[in-house]
Every structure is written in C-alpha cells, then in structure tokens.
Amino acid sequence: SDLRKQEERGELLQPLIFVLLVLCSVLLYFKVSLMDPGFVKPEEEVKEGENKERGVVIPQIPGDIKLRRCGYCLVKQPMRAKHCQLCQHCVRRYDHHCPWLENCVGERNHPLFIVYLSVQLVVLLWGGHVAWSGLYFEQSWEWLQHNIFLLVSFLLILIFTLVVLLLLVSHLYLISCNTTTWEFMSHHRISYLRHSELENPFDQGIILNLWRFFC
C-alpha cells in the first residue's frame, strides 16, 4: 500500500515526530499549570540556616533585614518569596503569575516552564516552516481566496513564535543572572535587594546559576 511505501521511505517519521512534539507541548502545559509552583505552607516555619541547606550563600545581605510575615496569608515568607493575589498563596522564588497558565511560575515549576517554552518554540518554528513551504505567491484574487487560511495561519504562527522567542530569551537571561522577573521589575521595592551592597547578591556566575537552576 501507499502508506507502507511511505513508511519504508521514511516519509512518515517527520509527521510522527511533529505530532509527538505537539503532544509533549500539551502535556507540559497541563503539568506546569496544574502543579504546585512552590506555595509556602501555613505550617512551615523558616528555620535558621535554611539558605545553607539549599546551597544558597548570600553574605552580602545586611543582617538587619528580617524575614517578614505575609499580611494576607500570615505565613513567614522565606527569602525571595512573594504573595500572589490571584493564587492567594505565597510562592517560593516567585517569578510571575502567568495568565496563560492560570498559575504562578515559582521555585518548583520554573524549570519545567522553560522546557515548555523551548518545546513550544520548536513546534511553532516547524509549523511555520510547513505553512511557508505550502505558499506560492501570485498577484490575483483567486490565489488569495485559495490561500487565505494558510496565509493567516503563517502570520499567526509568526506572531506567536516571536512572543515565545522573546519570552524564552528574557527568562534565560534572568536565570543566567540568578534573578526573577519580579526582582528585576521591582528591584527598588524589595528590601533585601534595595539594602544590599551588590545590585544582585544572588548572582554566582552564569555557569553556576544555570547549573543550580536546572540541576
């Protein structure tokens, strides 16, 4: 059969890989959106030396800066945690609340969020290539009628690709500096950053920052 011949020539391998990537992207989306991003539990108490146990040494933080108690959920916030008004929880190493995921991006799901963006970018680039390869341009109304759906699809894929690419690049930059979106945008309002001797006391070099984030 024709299907058997296509399989022998390897013509079905690429569509299969593409479908698997799309499936992987969907599964990652649900995983990141449904998992606990690092909520601070009410029964947890911040113990002395917790940062050392986590392998984070911050000698440049002034000693007179005390951990504050959240005015909303009344838990004692660990360093770099923030209360999210939408989730109604304090989130460890809070980065941002993503409206597309309907969940916060924090300590636990931030690495998976980066993996999700990477897979999504590959899917969009591949889909854009397929859409572009199907276009042949002619200056006629009949051509536009027959190709309008493909043309609109390509333009939408292009827009989403640019958005995902910019988002991924910006997050990788912040990760390489060991900072979060919240810390980057609100540096002047965060006490442990505003009173620190260094602009970013968490930065330990690009390689170590990336290693500790992903590994």
Residue 36 vs residue 192, higher pLDDT: 36
Averaged pLDDT, 50-72: 57
Q: What is the pLDDT of residue 55?
A: 46
Residue 142 vs residue 185, higher pLDDT: 185
Select which of 84, 90, 98, 104 is catalytic. 98
- Residue 100 pLDDT > 50: yes
- What's the number of CA atoms in the CB half-sphere (13 Å) around residue 115? 17
Q: What is the pLDDT of residue 141?
A: 62
Q: What is the pLDDT of residue 173?
A: 97
Q: What is the pTM of this model?
A: 0.81
Q: What is the pLDDT of residue 53?
A: 45
Contact by Cβ (8 Å): 42, 74: yes
How does the average pLDDT of the chain come out, rounded? 83
H/E element, 6: helix 2-8
pLDDT band at 215, cuts 50/70/90? confident
- Residue 45 pLDDT > 60: no
Dihedral class, residue 185 (left if φ above 0, else alpha if ψ from -120 to 50, else beta) = alpha
- Coil vs helix vs strand at 75: coil
- Tens-digit pLDDT profile for residues 104-140: 999 999 999 999 999 999 999 999 888 877 666 666 6
104 is annotated as an active-site residue: no
Q: What are the CA-CA distances from residue 146 to residues 79, 136, 143, 149 (Å)? A: 58, 11, 5, 8
Domains of the chain by residue range = 1-34+108-177
